[in-house]
Structure 1
Amino acid sequence: MFSLTYEFRLLPTKQQIEIFQDWLEINRKVYNYALAERKDWYKSRSCQINACSLHSEYIIPVNAPRPTYASQSKSLTAAKELYPDLKRVQSQVLQQTLKRLENAFTSMWERDFGFPRFKKVGQLRSFVFPQLGKEPLKPGLIKLPVIGWVKFRQSRDIPTDAAVKQARIVKRSSGWYVMLTLQWDVSVPQPLPHGDALGVDVGLMSFIAASNGFCVKRPKFFVDLQRKLKLLQQRVSRKKLGSNNRRKTQAKVARLHERIANTRKDFHWKIAHQLCDQAKTIFVEDLNLVGLSRGMLGKHCLDAGWGQFFQVLEQCCFKRGVYFQKVDSRKTSQICPNCGTETGKKDLSERVHVCENCGYTTDRDVAAAQVVLNRGCAAVGQTVKMLDEGKFTRTPVSQESHGFKSKRANAVF
């Protein structure tokens, strides 16, 4: 089975927007109630046996089972008789909200995520239709259960041989969007290493440095607009709580954040396509992105968005038939890519790699990308053909904005 998610902008009427907002608020209350039920059960089991806290204790019977998705779904059916507002929302949509909470607890246990938090007003921004009726799509129209036909901007064709598995309605500062998950009953083979190979190193000076000398300077998406964002946030803090002016200013802050995120993602896709144009096999570093984001330069690491870039590059490689693989990132800047000698640590101010053993000189980031390429080729069990009888080309280093002149020949398997 092969699935893809298509995103389109919705064009709902005023009445449909009111329904969307009402459903989001009801789903938020269901999420918070289910989370409170689970949290109370956990707190009742965490109190000490021989002492009581000075504030309060959560007393729940010993034989009370732990709240799960199945038990809370049954309770949701009974709650509809006590709270008629729940009947306004399609039943499967509420069940998906409970499943979302279950996934949050699973991520806490298995992926070391934090404990799930309560959603404030406006924080829950999406709900899911896990099933759609027969023939839910028409040109520029989608039929949602209970709501009916909703217009959307069909920016690209939807394959007729794909089955629509689910639809997610998302609220953003720029409007409403629908994410359609399409599924094909086909098996798509994964690309194998072939053609020209390329190693990619990411950094803060150069966003990427490729093993062939291709370098791109890092744009500062958040830092460039940080002053404007600070002014808007100051205006929000000076407005009266609950006032219309405060909500309008908060909307401006949200639009600016969305603009930063969209600009960053567009840049990542453009760079990914440029890399796929140059090679048929791409190797990148397997970085500890969480550790980098918590360091002294965490703000700049998060602004670069390396994690999103790797995801975008992997998707782009899959779509274009390019092999993608991550390799070990340790000591990539401390090893000479020409002779393999370990040169030792370099200061961040030292931007040129000079090997005392073989005399190979190139940009520091390009040398790290070439080390990534060597490790990737060794991991897939292939050899790399280079210029000058197996050696890198040695040309003087040039501090041009687009990269250094020392380039490595395209690696051919």
Structure 2
Amino acid sequence: MTTPLPASGASAGLLFDARFRLGIARAAGLSIPRQVATILLIAFLTYSAIRVGLHASKDMLGDWGVYYRAGIAMREHRPIYTLEEGPMLTFKNAPIIAVAAETLSMVPVTAARILFLASDFIVLAALMAMVSRLAAYVPVSKWVPAWIALVSLVLVLPYLMLQLYTGQTTVIFLGFTVLAFYLAVHDRPWAAGAALAIAICLKVVPLCFVPYLLFTPRPRQALASLLLSLAALLALPALSVGWDSNATLIAQWPAHLRDTEIPSQAWRLQNQSMFAEMARTLSSTGYHINVVSWDIHSVRFAWLGLSILSAAVLYAFVYKTRQNPWARATHLALLIIYMTIFNPLAWRYNYLALAVPYVVVLTALCHSPRDRLTWVLLASAVVLTFTPYHAQIYGARLAGAMMLMAAVIRSFQRASRLRDAGDLLVPRVSDTSRSAC
């Protein structure tokens, strides 16, 4: 027969057990947010894979199908630049992209669609990691950049979801563009030129990053790498289709881009570019915001002049701050915004690129949280970006991007003044404590 413990002993044992369990609970509680985030991420990835897998056949009629069909056409030595599906849903990239899609088209449609989605997630994670490293002025807790990146993606979530489920290449070309910038400022010019060449083959708009190579540690090597890589990427399809056929494809590419121009795209509400807003305002369109009635060619020349002037101002700022290592993230953010709004066709999914400047601004605010003007500009950018659909006729999304550009410049100026004054104070963060950001 077991002798029962005295009441005092039983109370002491229960108290010790309770304290032990409480200590375990507190220790486990520190990682609960991370566990919840991991579970939510896995659930989101699983849901996305199931969704795109079930709709893979239907997506063949959309953006995703353009690349898959181009890969099949390349394998079967059929024309890739055609208007069979109309001027919208047709292949418009460099021939080398069709060669890459050729490998993907060997996989069944459902599996290929899931693989394409997986590549989006991988590139997106790498993209946000690179931007976070460029944006961190001083070392902070390793989890702070992760949460900043997450918040930045939430702020562009509608565009991210649209990109992921339509199967566009926005994430991939944006990833290679940021990779080129990251490699260039880290003195790896040959790899930087190659990465930028791939981005240009995916979308022509990363050409606006080419002048930045002049401000990197070894500009000649970077420019030489870009030119050699572009030549190699244009020549590579010859190994698959032959030199004569490849020369024909290279000649057809710019001609096909001209043939697929749709004048009405210049003033559609979905197009939130600087060119679209100028077309809606300065030409005779169906909207009631026309200031003057220019023809579309005059609008195009005005837009071209404004884009050149804006690029000159932007690169003058880059030249002035080129010796400041803190300015690298600011340069990237401004170039990304410029590339987005001066793209003649800035559809909703193109605004996914604004996640990059959001990371830069939020990181700066972590280091200088009392900067009220930057908070106001950031809030204005978010509100304008998510205005109702019909308000977009007045360029609300475009205005939001410009407010974000102002926030980037303001946060850089604020951080520079604090650094020069020696007042850039960041709370000490240990590996086990929480950040004060």
Structure that is richer in helix per residue: 2
The alignment's TM-score, normalised by the length of structure 2, stands at 0.26
